[in-house]
Amino acid sequence: MKQNRDSTAKVNADTVRIDQLKATPFLPVSEPLFRPSCAPTRESNFLAIKVQLAALLSVFIFSPLSAEEAQIGGEATVNAVATRPAVATRPASWMERDTLTGDWGGLRTRLKEHGITLAPRLTQFYQGLAAGDGDRDFEYGSKADLMLNADLSKLGFWNGFSVTVHTEYNFGESINGAGGTLVPPNTALLFPGMEDDDAFDLSSVYFTQHFSKSVSLLVGKINMMDLAAMKPFMGGAGIDAFQNLTFVAPPTGLVPPYLFGALLSVRTEPANFGLWFYDPASVVNKTGFEEPFANGATIRGSVDFPVTIGGLSGHQGLVALYSNEEGTDQNDIGDTFLPPWPPDSPDIKDNNYYFAYSFDQYLYRVSENSMEGFGLFGQFGISDGNPSRLYWSALVGIGGNGLIPGRSRDNWGIGYYYDVPSPDLKESLSRRLTIRDEQGVEIFYNFAVTPWFTVGVDLQVINPSLGEDTAILPGLRSVIRF
């Protein structure tokens, strides 16, 4: 009897220990302190960084696989698509764990105990133009990225202080710009770039201070794709859900893809509030310290109301944004393929504003805390149309997880958008270029082969702003979490 009690106690202790290791991983958002675009030693610095990144990723990829217990790193990525099943008492096999490379012989667990979480990932695309203006080419492109989050309070700093770093490297070819589309159809390969040194960047290097459970402040260089990745039914950074930038992070002309500034968040019971102050210039392939706020500043306020309809959760949100950036280059931040204002354009204003309303609402959910279910989402945004080159835009769609019974990790979505370029821009370029309104549809389905390996199909049909014929862009995508 004593032997049985000892055995039972040991099993219970092991189960508790494994439960402790299954803590939910970090959520991303980051600030960069690196990579001046015009420094004299830029090429040598980037070469060294690429070598270091390759070496680091090789360690992650070829580290010894461990089957000792369920692993913790794979779904610490931007947009986890399903809840983790209950912890089993037996060790997880390599097909069941969350990451391909497992616990790295216990190193991953030891790092987490010291507040450090690492999430390496490889995303591959095969996408092309099946119909529309231009060559009927299909291209292969990939993104290798590594997300690092460090709880600095476990490394000797004060409570609530952490740092997030996101490194990205793109290689291969991209179909962005094919067919004359206004909005890029592949977000992941759009930023930081595809050519030479532009293909690598520290897209996020920022510090976070949690003053309480409801108040936090982010300061540094922040990748907006990561921040928007947490949106229900949308987001995904172009990797885990929709690929078109409209559904990943709807273009405004006033929020750079990577920005340098400070983001304050206050969460209360009736609503969540946000206040951002940032440099309006894009810091893609820059540190943010080159000439910060040289041409002005942008302030953005938001309020998000949690709502419940028929016992199902959702959100309704409002955004107001104002920028005093000077000059006609203020909207050249790379979030659309609209041409710039002509140099001789009259009456170009210096100030700019933008307003938006957004919503998401579950229509069905397996349980209150489960992500398995589906719902509606949508957004409408409008600017003054001068100097912003995008006047207004609207999108709506439906998406979710677990469409097929027994496939709770799969996710899917269908979205429609309509974008209207600035009337002043259309008129100023009318003699040399015809700019139309753009509308399009995207459909995707991601099949989770294992928790760490996803294969997806994507189809976009777009009536392009800068082309005459309807563009049809089918594609394949795979994601491996190491």
Residue 251, amino acid: P
Q: Which residues form the domain of 116?
A: 2-481
Q: By the 8 A CB rule, do 132 and 180 touch?
A: yes
Token code pair at residue 227: 């921040």
- CA 287, 288, 289, 294 torsion-angle sign: positive
- Which pLDDT score is estimated for 186? 97
Give the tens place of pLDDT for each residue, 114-128: 999 999 999 999 999
- Which pLDDT score is estimated for 283? 95
Q: How far is CA 86 from the centre of its chain?
A: 28
- Which pLDDT score is estimated for 91? 61
Looking up tokens 């030479």 gives 196
| Whole-prediction pTM | 0.79
- Which pLDDT score is estimated for 54? 42
- Which pLDDT score is estimated for 90? 61
- CA of 342: how far to CAs of 1, 108, 162, 407, 433, in Å? 87, 53, 44, 52, 11
- Which pLDDT score is estimated for 375? 96
How many domains would you assign to the chain? 1
Rg, the chain, Cα only: 23
Q: Which of the 8 DSSP states describes residue 403?
A: -
Token code pair at residue 466: 């800068």
- Which pLDDT score is estimated for 332? 66
Write the DSSP string, 220-247: EEEEHHHHHTTSTTS-GGGTSS--SHHH
**405 burial level (CB within 10 Å; 0-12, 13-18, 19+):** exposed
Is the preceding peptide bond at 85 cis, omega within 30 degrees of 0? Answer: no
- Which pLDDT score is estimated for 215? 98
Report residues of the chain scoring pLDDT below 50: 1-89, 330-331
- Which pLDDT score is estimated for 11? 37
Picking from 49, 87, 82, 47, the residue whose alpha carbon sits closest to that of residue 71 is 87
Q: By the 8 A CB rule, do 243 and 442 touch?
A: yes
CATH code of residue 308: 2.40.160.180
DSSP H helices, 99-242, are 107-113, 224-228
Write the DSSP string, 136-147: --EEEEEEEEEE
Give the tens place of pLDDT for each residue, 156-202: 999 999 999 999 999 999 999 899 999 999 999 999 999 888 899 99
